[in-house]
Amino acid sequence: MADWIDTHAASIARRAVRDLEALVGVSSPSGDVAGAEEAIAIAAALAPAEAEVSRLPCSTARHAPDLLLRLTGTGSRRLLLLGHVDTVIAHEHHRALEVAGDRLNGSGTVDMKGGVVLALGVLRALLDRTADFAAADLLLVCDEEWRTGDFGHTGRFTGYDACLCFEAGELDADGDDAVIVRRKAAGTLRVRAHGRSAHSGASPDDGRNALLALAAAAQAVAAHHAPTGPQRLTAVPTVLHSGDAFNVVPAAGELTCDLRADALASIEAVVDTIPAEVGGATLEPAILRRWPGMDAREPAAGLLARASAALGRPIIAAERGGASDASHFAATIPQTVDGLGPRGGGAHAPHEHVLASSLPTRAAVALAVADAALSA
């Protein structure tokens, strides 16, 4: 299969910058239906004409329907490719693609429209392998960046032989291409405070200070931060809103915290340690988002060994703290591999970029993993 990998990796790389420019040219922050529809239309146009196009209800209300592209073959294997078209960048801060040497700068380049470009390229390459699969699907969702409810697609793909997700790629410490087989569970904790307002100069003690209560809640959460502990728990307060005027005891407010650990149970345990009230202000905690952890190290070991042999160089199994939709599939599709996208940096930031030099090498990695999944 070395010729199939080399030929299609070169083909994907030749058109990748142009395809990425088209996708990044669309501003598609999560929840914006018009932007999602335009990005989905471009993705469908870049797909092979032979792919069956369907739209699936998004897991999150008031989002555009997700896109499913399916190739049907005469074999027995079933392969799922996975990505998302939404970004976290608001319209007013969106940046179209700009080429600066090896850097392809732009909003959503690395998270994850660059990965979508490679996934579409792999789908096109699979037209040469229809005898090896019964179904090769590419699922592109519109709500990955801010989904607080349940993921709605897991059952549809239960029993598939492999799931390949195209979040950003990376190198290991020795400079070898790495893919992601382990991710932490993730939770978003919201704490609401209910106090009582009062004049902060004339009668401050008549109030119940919601801001101080939330500050205590933030300290309680941060006290559990133990990234080198047995559950590798990170507990980080990230957003705090309270108060409307400089001379009024704040009566209400809201705190948001980002929690990550090997298991969801460790995240949920943090909630139990938040005090019910502080200084007379009551605290109401709730976990808005629960993303499962992912550990495919053992199931994916043979897959990556075969892929490395087909590629002629090592593909390293790595782990990452960030959440991904791959985590939702790992429990029902044991051979789940993530991090198959191009390399870059600056996700969610103004300096977000993809490295052009990584496009052919990462395309080859993705093709090698797809080959291994089909040839098991």
Confidence (pLDDT) at 1: 61
Question: Strands across the sheet with 252-261, in order?
Answer: 234-242, 252-261, 185-194, 281-291, 277-278
Confidence (pLDDT) at 323: 84
Q: Does residue 27 register a pLDDT over 90?
A: yes
Residue 123's CB: how many other CB atoms inside 10 A?
23
Q: Does residue 13 register a pLDDT over 70?
A: yes
CA gap 144, 298 in Å, rounded: 26
- For the chain, what percent of residues have pLDDT higher than 70? 100
Confidence (pLDDT) at 376: 76
Contact present, 359 and 12 (Cβ < 8 Å): yes
Q: Give the CATH number of domain 2-183+293-374.
A: 3.40.630.10
Q: Does residue 264 register a pLDDT over 70?
A: yes
Confidence (pLDDT) at 321: 85
For 340-367, write each residue's pLDDT tens digit: 999 999 999 999 999 999 999 999 999 9
Tell me the whole-structure pTM to 2 decimals. 0.92
The chain-wide mean pLDDT, for the chain, equals 96
Contact present, 77 and 373 (Cβ < 8 Å): yes
Contact present, 48 and 30 (Cβ < 8 Å): no
SS3 of residue 240 by DSSP: strand
CA gap 135, 163 in Å, rounded: 12
Q: Does residue 80 register a pLDDT over 80?
A: yes
For 34-66, write each residue's pLDDT tens digit: 999 999 999 999 999 999 999 999 999 999 999
For 102-155, write each residue's pLDDT tens digit: 999 999 999 999 999 999 999 999 999 999 999 999 999 999 998 988 999 999
Q: Amino acid identity, residue 187? A: G
Contact present, 370 and 163 (Cβ < 8 Å): no
Confidence (pLDDT) at 261: 95
- CATH 3.30.70.360 for domain 185-290, yes or no, is yes
User: Taking the domains of the chain in order of start, what are their residue ranges?
Assistant: 2-183+293-374, 185-290
Sign, CA dihedral 193-146-87-176, equals positive
For 172-209, write each residue's pLDDT tens digit: 999 999 999 999 999 999 999 999 999 999 999 999 99
Do domains 2-183+293-374 and 185-290 share one topology? The answer is no
Question: Strands across the sheet with 66-72, in order?
Answer: 52-56, 66-72, 133-141, 77-84, 162-165, 336-337
Confidence (pLDDT) at 97: 98
- The owner of tokens 């471009």 is 42
